[in-house]
Amino acid sequence: MDNYKAVLDFFAKAEQPARTGDVAEATGIDKKEVEKVMNTLKKEEKIVSPKRCFWEINKA
């Protein structure tokens, strides 16, 4: 599974907003790589931030 899919799957299954470090720890992907994938997901509007430094899947 590629990193993009792994991070997106994490957010799809997450029950609450998560930080970059939480995603990295849960997926086993390096934090810097998670940040790159999350930036892509933000630009695609697939994840949104309900509060500072926390992210969740865009339910809209």
CATH code, domain carrying 34 = 1.10.10.10
**Which residues span the domain enclosing 23?**
3-57
Q: Count of domains in the chain?
A: 1
Residue type, 31: K
Check whether 1 has a pLDDT greater than 70.
no
* DSSP-derived pairing of the beta strands 54-57 and 47-51: antiparallel
Q: Distance of CA 37 to CAs 2, 28, 55, Å?
A: 10, 14, 13
For the segment 6-53, what is each residue's pLDDT rounded down to a tens digit? 999 999 999 999 999 999 999 999 999 999 999 999 999 999 999 999
CB 17 within 8 A of CB 54: yes
User: 2: how many CB neighbours lie within 10 A of its CB?
Assistant: 9
10's tokens = 């994490």
